[in-house]
Structure 1
Amino acid sequence: MKTNFKKFALGAVVMGASTLLLAGCGNSSKNESAAKDDSSAKVSGNIKLWIDTEQKDTFTKIVKDFEKEYPDVKVDVKVGQSADAKKDVSKDPEKAADVFMLPHDQVGQMAEAGLLYKNTKYADEVKKNNIPSAVEGATWKGDLYAYPYGVETQVLYYNKSVLSEEDVKSWTGITTKGKMGTNFAEEGANYIFAPLFMSNGDVLFGKSGEDLKGTDFNNEKGIQVLDWIAKQKSNPGVVQSSATAIAKLTSGETSAFLSGPWSKNDVKKALGDNMGVAAYPTVDFGNGEVPMKAFLGVKLIGVNQQTKHPLAAMALANYITGEKAQLTLFENHGIIPSNKADQEVQEVQDDAVAKAVLAMSDDEHSVVMPKLPEMVSFWPAMDALINDTYKGNIKADQYQAKLDKFVADISKENK
């Protein structure tokens, strides 16, 4: 399972909201009370951990260290978990792993479905040690439900033989001096360009990302964003590319590319020593340059609500997302740590992709992807809006009506 939030976002289009039918699964209050009341009790039990196949060796070593610290806990490390934790756990929660990986945009759905055990013991520690955006990604309705171990945003890759550091500071600079290869016309444009609305001052599901009626894209700022998207069709510095993005970068047809840490090796292979990495450029919607925002994803570890050993499961989740573990995951797999101390380590600071992601992970440059279950309706509607606007299928005098319908459609509660 190669986990990146672009894949989760696209997958959400075809996922139903069926997990919500599991709401009330298990006895949440009983288990949470037990964990709180027995917090000084002996941490013991046999528990199961589901992890990414590619990270088996790393987590196996981390777990061995955990078992030395907690000798009464035995962990069975299992691999092969799919990219959809919600689906995997909901099949049979009692047989699912006690501890597992999940993307943060599933927190709301899994919490509402009674699949996640609240972080009742280590919440203060997690909040203290991780950056605010990562804590936000692990939180649902004010409660911490998971344990962050990494952050992920898209960044700008560029060809240093064509574009300078000054050129890549703005969209205009990139598309005047070089060519931006990106996707406005196909599936997946939603993940890249939906944050443009937030760049221009709008909000998606409110400032908290949890307000179903809180989207305000259907205003003058939203119209400006659609107008900007439409103009990119005639921008000679913009080349439509999706699956061919790396090929066009390799051939020199394009000189810049928006993607995430998962593309680092491919871009390095394409550009070699000419690979440059930077935070997103600024864009101008008509009111001056503003930072172009990206969605921020948070990599999480969750605890199964049905675990028979909550103290052991929480201890494991906290340990494998701690400072030492996060640095190991960065060194072995390039996962950008959410831990504040790890972000200051020279090794992390010296990594070009990590440095760009860290620059993108503040409120000025990114927005934490909302966790509302209704995001399942957002993705296809946003793709259609961007694709049709770029292709010219939506005319300027239709922008307001299209935005009104878009906001109305995504504000309907999933039944």
Structure 2
Amino acid sequence: MYKRSIIMLLAVALLITGVMVGCRGTGGESGSSAGNSGQSNTGNQTAEEVKLVLWGAADDQKMLREMAEAFKAEHSDRRISIDIRVCGEDVARDEALKDIDAAADVFAITNDQLGALVNAGAVYENTKYADEVRETRTESAVAAAMVGDKMYGYPSSSETYFLFYDKSKLSEEDVESMEGILAVKQDEGVTKMGFDFGDAYFSSAFFLTAGSKIYGENGQDPSSVTFNTENGIQAAKYIASLKAKGVEDMEGDVAGSRFAADKLAAFVSGNWKTEAYSEALGDNLGMAKLPTINIGGDDRDMVSFSGGKMYVVKSTTKHPLEAMALAAFLTNEENQLKRFRERNLLPNNQLLARNEEILEDDATEAQVEQFAHSIPTPSITQMSKYWEPVGAFTKDCFDGKIAEKDMKSRLDTLVKDITAQ
């Protein structure tokens, strides 16, 4: 019964889901004889060496080198070298937009970055593998990889954030609600709850839970944000109340250190932190969907952003067929499973929906349950104006720098800033 419930939850989730400066080489060039996955140019170009540059996060470098070697081993009719460089999803868009010609042929981004890249003419349309993406990926992953009616991305993983907690300090019942977490008396020096209020990816959850809308009902209207309504004011008041109750503002790496030092009971983050927190807590690591919070007198399931990652091909690549083949290979079923095993990233390939290894993973279970209470992160260009102002507002609110009487006017200003054209 338990396994059947998880399978059903994952099926639901599949329907619903949908710091480095610059990008540098790592000596990760993979340049032995290799092929082009059957999508090569014809004629005298067959003997030409195809040189591709691939960007990826620092934590992905070993995995990407292995994938590149597998790509070459699978296709031995061409000479392809793949220069793998460090450039994470958090900065890839900005680096590419500085000079698209200097960007990697293939690079990873988060879903919300695609719109800005396409509008800038920086991404090559997925003309070879669009049908494969539509047939094998979740509905939300397909939607995220498109701008208008054209497919640009190669979806690689889905994600949302959830609760990590120390099972020696909190029970499963305690973590069902924020109020339950904060009601537990902890030893001196132990923080009851950590949260990154300066990161709008996480802190937007309070507004979403209160019922505020971000860029309209479906995230596509750049002129419509309802943070400055009564719902938004309730969210701001709730954030402002948390510091006195034992919540502390902190980033993910700090939380890992606190867990390891036995000084933190709970923290909100994503599956990219599972390995680090597991090392810090060992058998005491617990994972669950986000706790309910009481806003406006009602206990509500906390609503998170859901999204994911994808690879794209730059518009000015000299080898579009080979670059598309590499992007498709990096995100195929086999490599999505590899990415899950090595990086705890949840696949969005529907063929893996009933994989026993994935279903038995605690982080997957927590994400699957949270996906039911999430909305897709908007991918429109306007999101580039959203993150910094919202993160600054929620941090100021938590720090007590915004008086209750000033919340409406500050929210008015915030909405004006994040909807400005």
The bucket for the TM-score relative to the shorter chain is 0.7 to 0.9
* Residues 1:284 and 2:291 aligned together: no
* Residues 1:344 and 2:354 aligned together: yes
* Residues 1:177 and 2:189 aligned together: no
Aligned to 1:137: 144
Query: Any conservation in 2 of the 1:49–1:75 contact (CA below 8 Å)?
Result: no
State the one-letter code of the partner of 2:192. Answer: M
Output the CA distance in 1 between the equivalents of 2:300 and 2:135. Answer: 31
Output the CA distance in 1 between the equivalents of 2:209 and 2:132. Answer: 32
Aligned to 2:366: 356
Output the CA distance in 2 between the equivalents of 1:168 and 1:399. Answer: 29
Aligned to 1:160: 167
TM-score by length of 1: 0.80
Query: Any conservation in 2 of the 1:231–1:390 contact (CA below 8 Å)?
Result: yes
* Residues 1:225 and 2:235 aligned together: yes
Return closer, same or farther for 1:272/1:130 CA change in 2, 3 Å cut-off. same
Paired residue for 1:80, among 73, 82, 85? 85
* Residues 1:323 and 2:323 aligned together: no
Provide the secondary structure at the position in 2 that maps to 1:264: helix
1:165-314 equivalent positions in 2, closer than 5 A = 165-177=172-184, 180-183=192-195, 187-188=198-199, 190-235=200-245, 237-242=246-251, 244-314=254-324
Query: Any conservation in 2 of the 1:81–1:88 contact (CA below 8 Å)?
Result: no
Displacement after TM superposition at 1:321 (Å)? 0.7
TM-score by length of 2: 0.79
Query: Any conservation in 1 of the 2:274–2:344 contact (CA below 8 Å)?
Result: no
Provide the secondary structure at the position in 2 that maps to 1:100: strand
State the one-letter code of the partner of 1:50. Answer: L
Output the CA distance in 1 between the equivalents of 2:196 and 2:66. Answer: 43
Provide the secondary structure at the position in 1 that maps to 2:108: strand
Displacement after TM superposition at 1:370 (Å)? 2.4
Return closer, same or farther for 1:211/1:67 CA change in 2, 3 Å cut-off. same
Query: Any conservation in 1 of the 2:162–2:367 contact (CA below 8 Å)?
Result: yes
Output the CA distance in 2 between the equivalents of 1:266 and 1:67. Answer: 32
Displacement after TM superposition at 1:67 (Å)? 4.2
Return closer, same or farther for 1:383/1:101 CA change in 2, 3 Å cut-off. closer
State the one-letter code of the partner of 2:150. Answer: D
* Residues 1:127 and 2:134 aligned together: yes
* Residues 1:381 and 2:386 aligned together: no
Could you tell me which runs of 5 or more consecutive residues in structure 1 were left unpaired when the two chains were aligned: 1-9, 16-38
1:13-32 equivalent positions in 2, closer than 5 A = none
Provide the secondary structure at the position in 1 that maps to 2:212: coil
Output the CA distance in 2 between the equivalents of 1:110 and 1:260. Answer: 25
State the one-letter code of the partner of 2:63. Answer: T
Aligned to 2:54: 50
- Greater mean alpha carbon deviation, residues 48-57 or residues 338-347: 48-57
1:91-106 equivalent positions in 2, closer than 5 A = 91-106=98-113
Return closer, same or farther for 1:311/1:294 CA change in 2, 3 Å cut-off. same
Output the CA distance in 2 between the equivalents of 1:111 and 1:234. Answer: 44
Output the CA distance in 1 between the equivalents of 2:240 and 2:99. Answer: 47
Provide the secondary structure at the position in 1 that maps to 2:116: helix
Provide the secondary structure at the position in 2 that maps to 1:273: helix
Aligned to 1:117: 124
Query: Any conservation in 2 of the 1:249–1:257 contact (CA below 8 Å)?
Result: no
Aligned to 1:62: 67
RMSD: 2.9
Displacement after TM superposition at 1:301 (Å)? 0.7
Output the CA distance in 1 between the equivalents of 2:335 and 2:416. Answer: 43
Provide the secondary structure at the position in 2 that maps to 1:88: helix
Provide the secondary structure at the position in 1 that maps to 2:386: helix
- Greater mean alpha carbon deviation, residues 258-267 or residues 296-305: 258-267
